[in-house]
Amino acid sequence: MRAAVLTEFNKDWQIQTLPDPRPAPGQVLIRIHASGMCGTDLHAHHGHLGAKLPIVLGHEPAGEIVELGAGVLDLKVGDRVGVFWNQKGDGRCAVCQAGRPEHCRNAQSWLNLGGANSELMLAWASGCALIPDGLSYELAAPLFCGGYTVMSGLRNGEPKPGERVAVLGMGGLGHLALQLSKAVGLETFAITGQADKKAELKEFGADEVLLSGDDPGAALQAAGGADVILSTTNSAKQIAAAFAGLRPRGRFVNMGVPDGPLTINPNVLMWGQRQLRGSSQDERSDLFETLTLAAAGKVKPKIELYPLARANEVRERLQAGKVRYRAVLQHGG
Ligand SMILES: [Zn+2]
Ligand SMILES: [Zn+2]
């Protein structure tokens, strides 16, 4: 199989031909048709995730099952599937026993089995979700990390009918958070630092687009504040500032990987009983809901498509903040 391989941190990925893997018991082999590139791939590229080299990146896979390992009962050869981050817990620790394998410290992911920037990929059957009919591989791929993550964030923000959601950071995750929040009927503001995105964010459904400038909290306050802020930015400074844009009893849900510690004003936190929450890919039903909304045409990732051979160029484009809004690698067929 052809694959883009990270052999040395911060160096170009090498397009190599590797032996085709075979699925172990409980695993499936997937012919990858599309692989989304996520901001976390940059962290992996720079060596911040502790990946063991060499490794194939890519954790937004969409493809077709071509082989089943022993004991796989529910999936079939020919199934169209994607794979999410934590595919399988160890089954034995307290959180696994409590039915929360997504929080298992020993969970298996693409870091163990290899990722989707490849013609073939192994996955645990328990980490696969069916792609609904009518949803293409290219549009499904970004939902397996980006879409899933922000749908969990939206749910963990516990918006009530009539409340206002603001999405901070308008990249791969943010543009999906905006659409998902609108799709479930909530008033939704977008906060971006890039004025040239304004018209497009309105097309995605934003009720208002606020320019963050140096102080997104002040911008949001001036617009009446938000009950839930879904934050996908990596800027610790922007997060700290935006927190002050919460209405009383508001919830700030952080889904990014900030570039430093979060310094939250304790007065703003206490007076008004505001909350800072963290969220990642959570309940499996969040992914199902995301896929269902996308299949119904209510949410549509805005993607740029590239062949696998251009993976390095795409990574540099992502690093430079030029991708609108998700880059997806295509793998033939
Ligand atoms: Zn990701
Ligand atoms: Zn466990």
**What is the residue-averaged pLDDT of the chain?**
96
Count other C-beta atoms under 10 Å from residue 237's C-beta.
Answer: 16
Phi, psi of 152 (to 5 degrees): -65, -40
The predicted model scores a pTM of: 0.97
Segment 214-240, tens digit of pLDDT: 899 999 999 999 999 999 999 999 999
Segment 243-254, tens digit of pLDDT: 999 999 999 999
Phi, psi of 218 (to 5 degrees): -65, -40
Give the three-state DSSP class for 200: helix
Q: Which ligand is nearest to the CA of 144?
A: 1
The secondary structure of residue 56, as a DSSP letter, is: E
Cα of 230 to ligand 2 centre, how many Å?
A: 28
Per-residue pLDDT of the chain (333 residues; tens, 9 = 90+): 999 999 999 999 999 999 999 999 999 999 999 999 999 999 999 999 989 999 999 999 999 999 999 999 999 999 999 999 999 999 999 999 999 999 999 999 999 999 999 999 999 999 999 999 999 999 999 999 999 999 999 999 999 999 999 999 999 999 999 999 999 999 999 999 889 999 999 999 999 999 988 899 999 999 999 999 999 999 999 999 999 999 999 999 999 999 999 999 999 999 999 999 999 999 999 999 999 999 999 999 999 999 999 999 999 999 999 999 999 999 864
Dihedral of CA atoms 90, 93, 99, 101 in degrees, nearest 10, equals: -40
Q: Which ligand is nearest to the CA of 146?
A: 1
Segments of the chain assigned E as strands: 2-6, 14-17, 27-37, 55-56, 61-68, 80-83, 120-124, 128-130, 164-168, 187-192, 208-211, 226-231, 246-254, 275-278, 303-307, 326-330
pLDDT of residue 331: 83
pLDDT of residue 332: 67
Return residues with CB closer than 5 A to ligand 1 (ion).
Answer: 38, 40, 145
Cα of 190 to ligand 1 centre, how many Å?
A: 21
pLDDT of residue 268: 96
Cα of 151 to ligand 1 centre, how many Å?
A: 13
Burial class (CB in 10 A: 0-12, 13-18, 19+), 261: exposed
Segments of 11-149 assigned E as strands: 14-17, 27-37, 55-56, 61-68, 80-83, 120-124, 128-130
Cα of 195 to ligand 2 centre, how many Å?
A: 45
Cα of 145 to ligand 1 centre, how many Å?
A: 5
